[in-house]
Every structure is written in C-alpha cells, then in structure tokens.
Structure 1
Amino acid sequence: MPDVRFEASEPEEALTGGNMQAVVRVGGTVRRIAGPWTPAVHALLDVLKAGGVAEAPRPLGLDEFGREVLTYLPGAVLDDVPAAERWSTSMLEQAGALLRRVHDASTALELDDLTWRSPTREPVEVVCHNDFAPYNLLVRGDRLTGVIDFDFASPGPRVRDLAYLAYRIAPFAEDALDESATTPDERLARLRRLIEAYGIAYDTATVLRAAADRLVELAVFTDARAGETGRDDLPQHAAMYRRDAARLHRLVIAQGTGDPPQQQPAGGECGA
C-alpha cells in the first residue's frame, strides 16, 4: 500500500470521538495511530469497497509519521444530531440494514495471517466492526451515509455486532434511556424492528443475552484501560456496563430463558 505524504501546509483539525486515541483531519483525509492491526483493517476496508459498501472510508496508506491515512467522510455524527432524528425509526432501520451490508461484504476477506487489534470470537461468521454505534455513524439529512472507526474490528459472530448496536440504538444503555424518551416496551419493539432491518430472524432473548455478555467483556476492558491511562471517567463507564449487563440479563429471564452473562478476560475492545 503506498505511503501518503503529509503536507506541512495542511493544518490538522482534531476530530470528535476517538475515545481511545487521537484522530485528526488533514484536508480530505483522516490520520490516526497505526499498529500491527492496521494491514488487516485496511484489507477489510478494501473488501468493503469492492463489495459496494460506499459508506466506509477507503485506506490510503501511511503518512511520514507512521499514521494510517483514510478518506474523510462528510456528515454529522448520529450522536450529535437532534434527538428526534437520532432516535427515529428510520435511523434505527438504516443502521440495521447497513450493518448487514458491512457483514455480508466482509465475508469475502481472506482471514489467514491477519493480525487484529481485538480478539477473534467464535463462531467466526463475519468480520465484526466491534463498535458499530451512533457515535461511529454519519448522517446527511435524513440518510445514514457513513460508518467510521474500524480499528477494533475482528472476526466473530454476526449477533455480537447486532447486539451492541441494539444496546446503543434501541437503546438499553443507561446513559441514553432518558434522552431517548422510550419506555421498556418501546425499546423491545425497537429491538424487534432492528432485528427485522438486519434481516436474520434472531429472537430478542438471543440478542439481549449477547449484549449482556459483550458488556461484561467491555467492563473488564474498560477497567484495564483505566489502569493503563489513569483516566478517572473510565471506571464510571465500566460500572455502567456492569449495571446494564445485569439489567439486560433480567430482561432475558423475563422473556423466558437465559444464562447469566459470561465473565471474559480483558482483550482489545472499544466503546468506552
């Protein structure tokens, strides 16, 4: 992959998001830290482009500082648009449909000898984004036009990504319940709409259980990141994930079946 040379005359603009690392815009490109996972992510993005997923950025290589270079995607972050638009049924359905397209296109990627930032999860069905959520989705007008931040992607089961999207967009996340102005019944109805938009007939208990398991993993990862970085906000995030995992497990039980969320070792994750 060719290097893309940084032009000193182009100013750097810090972008919002990038919870785990700095992200800057330089002209029509985005620059961020590269690592052993970057070739795998760039291979994935190339496959998505070939599969017709125009909503994902294109990889352009590395700059002279060793940062990865991606095309800049215009649009507003879904998390930043007015609540009526953010929580609309249309956005929920578009998000589910886009996730399905990303997953389906990712199956063309040859996985041998690729190094990922996040652990591979079984069963491997697709390459999961692992942070497919409103803060990584872009909109223009009433259309969902982009998905960004693939750096924590890794192979895994489809429901893993769908469950985390449901957690963030139904929503079941504690920090979005009041803002979304949804009732428990409405959130379950939105979950069913999301599953329908994705296009595989998962039952709601399966998705909720997967979300609870993911949140337990995410809490462990976030606690580890807090120790590494000293960020005093991260333990609060981890505590919320554990509360939300317990609440989702109660929902699973209320729907008839469910084992408790599984404790997982810390591994590469995102979403804090």
Structure 2
Amino acid sequence: MVDDEEVLTGGHMDPVVRVGDTVRRMAGEWTPAVHRLLDVLAGAEITQIPRAMGVDERGREVLSYLPGRQLSNAPPDVLWSERVLVQAAQLLRRIHDASEPLVHEGSLSWRAPIREPVEVVCHNDFATYNLIERDGVLVGAIDFDYASPGPRLWDLAYLAYRIVPYVEDAYGAQDLDRDDRLSTLIDAYGTSASPAAVRACMADRLDDLRAFTLKIARRTGRRELLDHAAMYGRDAVRLRDPAVAGDIR
C-alpha cells in the first residue's frame, strides 16, 4: 500500500482504501455491471452516489469519494431522526426507479443472485453503515458491489431492519415507536406493501443473510461473523412473532 492510501472502515468483505478524492476496492466480473448502474443513476441526476471512474493500475475499481460520516456512527439523535428515516426511504425509491431500465440487460454479470420477482436493481445492502450523513442530513449511499436485480421489498425490508430499527444491537433506540417509524418509512418510499408484509420479507432477508454470513465465516475464519449470524437468526424469529415484532429492543 502506498503512503497516500487510507484504509477505510466498513469494508467488511473486501479491503477499501481512499486515495485523495477517490475510493479504490477490489474489482471483479461484476464491476462493469456496478459501474453501468452507477452511470445510469448519475444520468438520472442522483447525486448522492459514488461516480464510477474505471480501474487503476492495480486493477482496482476507482470511485469518487463521498465526504461525510457513516450514518451508523452518528449519535442517536441523528441516526434515529425522522428526517433521516424519510430521506433514506426517498433515496432508495429514486435509486430503484432509475435502475429499472437495467433489470433485463442480459449482458450484465452481477455479484449477488438475481431474485424474483425482478422489479429493480437492488442495492442488497442499503443500511445505515452504507449511508452517509453530514450535519444531520443524508447525503450519500455507498457500496453498490452486491447490487443485483430483484424485488423492491427486498431492499426496503433490510433498510427497515436497520433504520426503524429491528436489529438487536441497535443503540439508543429504546424509546422509539417502531410501528410508527415503519409506517413512516413505507409511506416515504411510496409502496402499498403492508407493515406485516415488510416484516415478513425482513425475516426472509435475515434468513438469507444468516446463511451468507455463515458461508463467509467458514471461508475466512472470522469468528465475529458467527455472532452476527446468530443475531440475524434471533431477530428473524422475533420478527415472525407478531406479539413482539414492534417491541424489539
């Protein structure tokens, strides 16, 4: 690594470094599809995303750097603010809508599986740790590497899991009205899906995430991922119990 490279946190799967006003990370056969998606989103005047800038001399993809703080690292009054909740849902909707022309481009090779019903290109990790805020305002979404075509609800449900929140390890969220926040999120995105449908999809999403996390843990030997997988399993069980779905602490 050269002297002007700064290792960034959040690269939980692949190493991510900052070089000046750019971000460098491992490229793969999925990179052309991701860059095509980012170009389409930029063409739709979505400014809160990285810009694709090709690959560097080491074969790493090059993206523009979005200044700010990961929302997951913000204090509770920012992290759980209704303004940020609404902004996140609205940004996800804009990304989904702009991505629709790509869902049937058969020449694109995605890193993550394609899921039915195919409606949009899902980010597949649209969560607080991949959202960027500045001064209490949501200003960006990053880490599109695992994007792939799928249903809108797949992304919306995972965003709800992290930002309503239903995740077990959420901090400073004890007094939040989760039923109210979920309804606000659904309305801000603009879908007719019911809260029960979102929670059901959330549980299915966590089943998938648990299996994926266990696979990565076996491959890498990272034992902390076993704790993550166990948490996803517990949260999925709670989400499937209507008596406690709105009372996860």
Fold shared by both chains (TM-score > 0.5): yes
| Paired position in structure 2 for 1:161 | 155
Match of 2:133 among 136, 139, 154: 139
- In structure 2, relative to structure 1, the CA distance for the partners of 1:132 and 1:254 (3 Å cut) is closer
1:210-221 equivalence runs, <5 A: 210-221=201-212
Match of 2:114 among 107, 120, 129: 120
Indicate the SS of the match to 1:108: helix
| Paired position in structure 1 for 2:166 | 172
TM-score (norm 1): 0.87
- Tell me if the contact between 1:37 and 1:151 (Cα under 8 Å) persists in the aligned partners: yes
| Paired position in structure 1 for 2:77 | 84
Q: Deviations over 1:72-104 (max 9, x none)?
A: 111111111111111011110110010000100
Q: Deviations over 1:23-76 (max 9, x none)?
A: 000011000000010000000000000011110101000001000000011111
- Tell me if the contact between 1:208 and 1:252 (Cα under 8 Å) persists in the aligned partners: no
List alignment gaps of at least 5 residues for structure 2: none
Match of 2:14 among 12, 18, 21: 21
Match of 1:49 among 34, 42, 67: 42
1:183-198 equivalence runs, <5 A: 183=176, 186-198=177-189
- Structure 1: distance between partners of 2:157 and 2:229: 18
- Structure 2: distance between partners of 1:198 and 1:249: 23
1:192-207 equivalence runs, <5 A: 192-207=183-198
**Does 1:182 pair with 2:175?**
yes
The alignment's C-alpha RMSD in Å is: 1.7
> Could you tell me which amino acid in structure 1 is paired with residue 37 of structure 2?
L
Per the TM alignment, residue 179 of structure 1 is displaced from its structure 2 partner at its CA by: 2.5
Q: Which moved more, 1:139-148 or 1:154-163?
A: 139-148
- Tell me if the contact between 2:238 and 2:245 (Cα under 8 Å) persists in the aligned partners: no
- In structure 2, relative to structure 1, the CA distance for the partners of 1:254 and 1:240 (3 Å cut) is closer
**Does 1:244 pair with 2:219?**
no
Per the TM alignment, residue 253 of structure 1 is displaced from its structure 2 partner at its CA by: 9.6
- Tell me if the contact between 1:205 and 1:252 (Cα under 8 Å) persists in the aligned partners: no
> Could you tell me which amino acid in structure 1 is paired with residue 169 of structure 2?
D
Indicate the SS of the match to 1:179: coil
List alignment gaps of at least 5 residues for structure 1: 1-5, 256-272
Per the TM alignment, residue 219 of structure 1 is displaced from its structure 2 partner at its CA by: 0.5
Per the TM alignment, residue 188 of structure 1 is displaced from its structure 2 partner at its CA by: 1.3
Per the TM alignment, residue 157 of structure 1 is displaced from its structure 2 partner at its CA by: 0.2
Per the TM alignment, residue 142 of structure 1 is displaced from its structure 2 partner at its CA by: 2.6
- Tell me if the contact between 2:238 and 2:244 (Cα under 8 Å) persists in the aligned partners: no
> Could you tell me which amino acid in structure 2 is paired with residue 180 of structure 1?
A
Per the TM alignment, residue 105 of structure 1 is displaced from its structure 2 partner at its CA by: 0.6
Indicate the SS of the match to 2:169: helix
Q: Deviations over 1:229-267 (max 9, x none)?
A: 000101111111011011001128989xxxxxxxxxxxx
TM-score (norm 2): 0.95
- In structure 2, relative to structure 1, the CA distance for the partners of 1:54 and 1:238 (3 Å cut) is same
- Structure 2: distance between partners of 1:254 and 1:107: 32
- Structure 1: distance between partners of 2:175 and 2:207: 24
**Does 1:65 pair with 2:51?**
no
- Structure 2: distance between partners of 1:190 and 1:214: 19
**Does 1:101 pair with 2:94?**
yes
How many residues of Structure 1 are paired with residues of Structure 2 in the alignment? 245
- Tell me if the contact between 1:96 and 1:197 (Cα under 8 Å) persists in the aligned partners: yes
Per the TM alignment, residue 201 of structure 1 is displaced from its structure 2 partner at its CA by: 1.8
- Structure 1: distance between partners of 2:45 and 2:194: 29
Per the TM alignment, residue 111 of structure 1 is displaced from its structure 2 partner at its CA by: 2.1
